[in-house]
A and B are shown apart, each in its own frame.
Chain A
Amino acid sequence: MTERSFPLPSQLEAVPGAEGWEAMYPYFSRFQPEDDQRFWFYNSMHFPEVVPAFDGITSEIPYTAIGANTARLFSFPTTMGIEYRIVNGRVYITANPVLDEAEQGRRLADFQERAGHYYANWDRLYVGWQQRIEALIADIEAVEVPELGELDPIEVVTSGRGFASNHLLREEFHRCIDLYSKMWHHHTEFLMLGYGAYVVFFEFCKQVFPEMGDQMVARMVAGMDVTMYRPDDELKKLAALAVDLDLADLFVEGSDPAKVLAALGERGDAGARWLAALEAAKDPWFNVSVGDGFYHHHLSWADDLTVPFAALPRYVEQIAAGQDLTRPTERLAQERDRIAAEYRELLDSADEQTAFDQMLGLCRQVFPYIESHKFYCEHWFTTRFFQKVRAFGQLLADRGVLLAADDVFHLRHVEVEDALADVMLAWASGGTELGGRHWQPIVAERKRIVEALSTWSAPPALGAVPEALNDPAVKMLWGITQETVEAWLGAEDDDGSTVRGYAASPGVVEGVARVLLNVNDIGQIREGEILVCPVTAPSWGPVFGKIAAAVSDIGGTMSHAAIVAREYGMPAVVGTGTATARISTGDRLRVDGDRGVVTVLA
């Protein structure tokens, strides 16, 4: 249709060994012939790895919620929701713009009333949000996988409950899915309004101060006591305590957390005090995912102490050497306010200064939500959710339907219901589950498919070049603008040694690349290396103390990698689209965080 286009979805070549991958995902996630004429970009920010069948729920449900909020609740005038497709295990998305001006006008009146209500009552509504999300976390914690014994407990009879425990199998599983869906509605409840505030301030700054880097705008907005910094702060406190209590010798790089815990148990009062401090920190701060909360294998620190214990030895060493690792929040806050005041002073008129104050004030009002919701939603709730599903997997394994608990994640959530019905029937009838014969070959095949698909290099975009990019989240979160699209289109003309993205954090360094596709490999990072990854997540915080620079495939200037890199004062280039595909571990790189350019030197 257009002269220039990205690879067309209909013409992507099949990945050898991955035949039949389509059955892993719902029919409504498949590319249609007419999708060739639309613009799709790879959401590698949230889905950097192949999506296992169950994990398809982490695209299906979020997109039911985010679109509902923009399109149907708040009536954003120029954008509806986000559509998604899965191909070769990767999630592609597109925002549906509203291009008809009359339609935009009709939507605007509703938008003003509805969004206006939220903006005008933001602080009060946010308090309510906090309560609702904590209640949802309590609810997911309370989900129980029923025990199916020889006989139901006598209390079921004496209380006159009237239904047997196999009924609860389906009800409790449903509760998991329903709570997950509800969590995502709350997750996106404030999100687009928050991004709307950001877009306003960014656009204003870009207009008045075109030379100002995005990172400077973000610095004026940033809050100091961000929930997402807390897990890392807690680790530093634990490291300081280890030094104080003379336990530093136990924290050696490469140690198994279980052995460290056992050794602490033998260190008398000091060891006991440290373990008590660990328990206190864990609830809630270790409910942070080692990923971004979109994959079942992203466990929380509380579930698996490997990541926090990998970070502790270095912190202990630094504190023992007299370094102060506490974040200088006072100084950072003063610096932020100085920068904002100076830019304000440079404005032409009192009117412009007032407008600046309004826009910045609005950003700062929405910032706590934007930064904190991730901890409650993607981390705390989601890691609990996957643990519950895993418990249902354990039951299926115990009943012989699956070989192992984690195999449940190779079934779609509607298939899990089938498998549970099988168990409910077998328990009721006294017969045998038929699922072992049915599901186990399917699980084995899907494991092979996931493996085969992991070798596929997903293009950053598919289909047509977009007419308009109107969605605030697409711009602020994914960092996708007309320039990104142009860069992706022009990527073929490069000599292959240059990767372009967003200048997310200033500075220029050279160093050796460490390409990490999977968060579980973060232990491989060595001091002074340059991290090249699809996307970073908050629990990668400790890694930033080691690396010299960060490069990511996807992300805007308010993405996690950008925020943390600025915090650590290291160069970062985000939203490159192709860094992990074009850079190899061991490559010598120059990262120019001022211009957003990564050069492969050798």
Chain B
Amino acid sequence: MTSIAPVLHLREVGLGDVPTVGGKGASLGELLRAGIRVPTGFAVTTAAFGRAVEQLTVDGVPIPARVAGLDPADAPALAAACAQLRAAVEAAPLPGEVAAAVSTAYAAMCEEGADASLPVAVRSSATSEDSAEASFAGLQDTYLWVRGADPVLEHVRRCWASLYSVESVTYRLRRGIPETDLGMAVVVQRMVGARSSGVLFTRSPLSGDRSVVAIDASWGLGSAVVSGDVTPDSFVVSKVTGEVKRNVATKTRWHRPDPSGSGVVETDVPADLQDRPSLSDEEIAELVAIARRVEAHYGRPQDIEWAVAEGGDVFLLQSRPETVWAAKDAARKAAPTARPFDHVFNLLGGKRPSEG
């Protein structure tokens, strides 16, 4: 593990790199490989996490042992222990070569973006996250609109620390996920100045129908949609005919970059925007086309976060396998029959004596 670089550019990774760059990082790298536009960035690898955390102790006890000794049923004790663990991880300075690698990579992004303190998103990317088997959705933290090398480093540590949130620790303890298997990478990505953003599924999240793409969209940053702070517009698009069923909502709140230049604020959407569709027909069509390419690339339905920049460029921020309906698919298979019309007998046959 120590031979792995502490920082890898997203261009350098793909789906096979989940152990080093986590699910999110691997998935973003894979999207880049598939020719999908995602905001550029790099991943702070699990190797870096390992180097930073392995030496840490709390009250003289190594962190993994401390977690393994906790009782998920004892809520007060768990909360106290987690607060202590988080503080320790957040406070400990990064090992020198890790800090240097992150700073260098960030500086390169700043140069590319012609902004000395380029705003970035710092997002946790756990190795057990983003898999069809166990969706960790929402259990780790994402920090938007972070500017400057030191804040980036600080938020990397906070991402790592989020692994020791009460929710995460409880999740691992209840599922019996051993601490030794724990790896946490962090993705640092250029911030998209999102005019509109949201999530989409390459099947209906309501019915499981794979012939549609279901898009939820609202003004501003996608965090408003994900957090449920706004009732988004809904567009359900047929993959076969391109027909769009639209439901334009009154979008009262949005998440915007803090005018101070760093962080995010939630405010009222201007009145003239509230009832307007947050996506144009062309943008819907482009999103659907991209979503279908991603779905085809992975060979299974996807759950995608996306954003449309002020200039109209469409970016994907994340793509992971859809997990809810995937499990139900197996239950509704139609099997071929010996003769085509046996289907009629099966449907109109009523109760069979043998089944009685």
Contacts and interface: CB of A to CB of B under 8 A. Distances in A.
Given A343-B211, A362-B343, A76 B336 contact: no
A386 B348 CA distance: 37
A104 B353 CA distance: 8
Given A204-B343, A209-B209, 13 more contacts: A104-B351, A111-B345, A112-B349, A115-B345, A119-B344, A199-B344, A199-B348, A211-B204, A339-B240, A346-B240, A355-B335, A362-B344, A594-B245
A348 B333 contact: yes
B175 interface: no
A77 interface: yes
B209 A115 contact: no
B349 A77 contact: yes
B345 A358 contact: no
A62 B36 CA distance: 62
Contacts of B332: 207-208
A472 B245 contact: no
A144 B9 CA distance: 93
Secondary structure of the A contact surface, majority rule? helix
B240 A78 contact: no
Given A108-B352, A343-B240, A354-B336, A209 B210 contact: yes
Interface in B206-224: 207-212
A355 B337 contact: yes
Contacts of B240: 216, 339, 342-343, 346
A495 interface: no
A469 to B, nearest CB: 13
Interface of A: 76-78, 98, 101-102, 104-105, 107-108, 111-112, 115-116, 119-120, 193, 196-197, 199-200, 203-204, 207-212, 216, 339, 342-343, 346, 348-349, 351-352, 354-356, 358-359, 361-362, 472, 506, 594
A78 B348 CA distance: 7
Contact of A212 (B211, B336, B352): B211
A98 B341 contact: no
A104 B207 CA distance: 32
17 contacts: A102-B356, A104-B349, A105-B350, A105-B351, A108-B350, A108-B353, A111-B345, A193-B344, A197-B344, A199-B347, A204-B343, A210-B204, A346-B239, A348-B210, A348-B333, A358-B337, A362-B341
B150 to A, nearest CB: 49
B329 interface: yes
Nearest to B341: A119
Contacts of B245: 211, 594
Interface in B182-237: 204, 207-212, 236
A351 B336 contact: yes
Nearest to B245: A594
Given A108-B345, A339-B240, A352-B333, A346 B210 contact: yes
Contacts of A506: 243
Secondary structure of the B contact surface, majority rule? loop
B137 interface: no
Contact of A200 (B347, B351, B352): B347
Nearest to A106: B353
B337 to A, nearest CB: 7
Contact of B347 (A105, A203, A358): A203
Q: Which 7 A-B pairs have the closest CB atoms?
A: A104-B350, A119-B341, A105-B353, A210-B207, A358-B340, A355-B334, A354-B336
A112 B335 CA distance: 19
Contacts of B280: none
A210 B351 CA distance: 25
Contact of A101 (B208, B236, B350): B350
A197 B341 contact: yes
Contact of B356 (A105, A208, A472): A105
A358 B208 contact: no
Contacts of B236: 211
Contacts of A210: 204, 207-209
A187 B351 CA distance: 29
Contacts of B238: 211-212
A124 to B, nearest CB: 15
Given A104-B350, A105-B351, A200 B344 contact: yes
A351 B333 CA distance: 8
Contacts of B340: 119, 358-359, 361-362
Given A105-B350, A211-B204, A351-B336, A346 B344 contact: no
B209 A108 contact: no
A115 B344 contact: yes
A280 B347 CA distance: 46
A591 to B, nearest CB: 16
A472 B348 CA distance: 9
A120 B347 contact: no
A481 to B, nearest CB: 15
Nearest to A116: B341
Nearest to A335: B241
A208 B240 CA distance: 14
A27 B121 CA distance: 81
Contacts of B212: 211
Given A209-B209, A358-B336, A216 B348 contact: no
A358 B351 contact: no
Contacts of B336: 351, 354-355, 358
Nearest to B211: A209
A204 B341 contact: no
A77 B348 CA distance: 7
Interface in B302-342: 329, 332-337, 339-341
